[in-house]
Amino acid sequence: MNKQEEPRTISILGSTGSIGSDTISVLQSTSTKYRVLAITAHESVELLAQQAYALEPEFVVIANKEKYRELKRLLSGTKSRLGAGDEGLLEAASLKTNWTMAAIVGAAGLKPVLTTIAHGGTVALANKESLVCAGELLAFEAKKSGATLLPVDSEHNGVFQSFDFNNPESVEKIYLTASGGPFLDCNKDDLQRVTPEQAVKHPNWDMGPKISVDSATMMNKALEVIEAFHLFPININQISVLIHPESIIHSMVSYWDGSFLAHLGNPDMKIPIAYALSWPRRMPLRGSRLDITDVGKLTFRRASQQQFPALRLANEVLEEGGGSAIVMNAANEVAVQAFLQYEISFISILKIVEASLARIQYNKADSIEEIMSIDNEARRMARNLIAALD
């Protein structure tokens, strides 16, 4: 076999979530040869085992150590090495690959992402929290190792395809679109009664529970604003958010000659995943095609910071700098989990985040240790604030 025919080596960190599962679907649909080195999951051990049988990876990791015995039983007789816990995750991330999907949800994905970046290669970033908490550190480590960071979020992936990196000064603005979630036109009384079951039912996208709740509060878009600031050579005032209920235009870039480049597509995460997997080329992908005549009309409106306070928090965090983004993300993760467990109301999520930001003194974090210290402090504060609501 000559060098051009050698299969690409791939790892999927967070393979059982929606992004990880879609990544596997894309891999299985392509004729390109690949060899999966590692797949990891938090605790979905049965699905992880099914994926291991299908992909035959060299290394399979379950983060929840209590599930390791079951994983060992399910994969008895296979050739895959097995691992568990944070140690296993970091070992999986340290395997040198051509391409890695970083799809572990939340700040838990930060250390694996940094470990992956250290050995170079291409890293497809679906873990927006890593960029939010450690954007400068990730960029520094990528430059040092020669790693390529590709955004997988549909909005940033669209901007990436439309942005003139050779002439960034010609860019006037980038526009990130948001459907507005399932409660776009609800009043405060309606929001007070929102249940977790209602919050996870996104009108357009099929996503996991945490990101679905973030979409409902617009925290997802707030995190994406911070993510865009770190991904592209722009300033805060060049990022705008538009409400676009149809979720057909994912992002736009406007230029100083009056031109707008818009990225359109069906709301299907397999499309940006396929682009990241095949970049700098494109790969054929099975699936329904966008018929713009069926859509008929595309509507937009400005995203009001009064209606969506999460967007105001994002701007304040970017202006404040330091470790404020780490606090915002950590407090939000704790609050969303509490909401999903029926411990707090839907409208209390952002109240917990804002109160955490107001109570914690944070300096700039230049290392993973400093980042995790702020993250831990913010989580403790958020839990204390939640307990005080009882």
pLDDT tier for residue 366 given thresholds of 50, 70 and 90: confident
Q: Which residue has the tokens 């609501």?
A: 389
For residues 141 and 118, the answer to whether their CB atoms sit within 8 Å is: yes
pLDDT at 386: 97
Angle at 19 between CA 14 and CA 22, to 5 degrees: 115
pLDDT tier for residue 5 given thresholds of 50, 70 and 90: low
pLDDT at 192: 87
CA dist., res. 282 & res. 299, Å (int)? 29
Chain segment 111-157, per-residue pLDDT in tens: 999 999 999 999 999 988 899 999 999 999 999 999 999 999 999 99
Q: Over range 33-37, report the average pLDDT.
A: 95
1 has a pLDDT exceeding 70: no
The set of residues, in sequence order, having a beta carbon less than 8 Å from that of 381 and lying 6+ positions away, is: 331, 356, 359, 360
What's this model's pTM, rounded to 2 decimal places?
0.91
Could you write out the DSSP letters of every residue in 153-190?
SHHHHHHHHH--TT-GGGEEEEEEEE---TTTT--HHH
246 has a pLDDT exceeding 60: yes
Chain segment 55-80, per-residue pLDDT in tens: 999 999 999 999 999 999 999 999 99
Taking alpha carbons only, the member of 314, 315, 329 closest to residue 360 is 329
107 has a pLDDT exceeding 90: no
The set of residues, in sequence order, having a beta carbon less than 8 Å from that of 272 and lying 6+ positions away, is: 151, 152, 153, 154, 157, 158
Q: Which domains does the chain possess?
A: 8-151 (3.40.50.720), 157-266+292-388 (1.10.1740.10)
Tokens encoding 240: 């705008």
3 has a pLDDT exceeding 60: no
CA dist., res. 159 & res. 253, Å (int)? 7
CA dist., res. 188 & res. 340, Å (int)? 19
CA-based Rg of the chain, rounded to a whole angstrom? Answer: 21
For residues 61 and 40, the answer to whether their CB atoms sit within 8 Å is: yes
CA dist., res. 311 & res. 350, Å (int)? 11
pLDDT tier for residue 2 given thresholds of 50, 70 and 90: very low
DSSP letter at 109 equals G
Chain segment 186-219, per-residue pLDDT in tens: 888 888 889 989 888 877 766 778 888 999 999 9
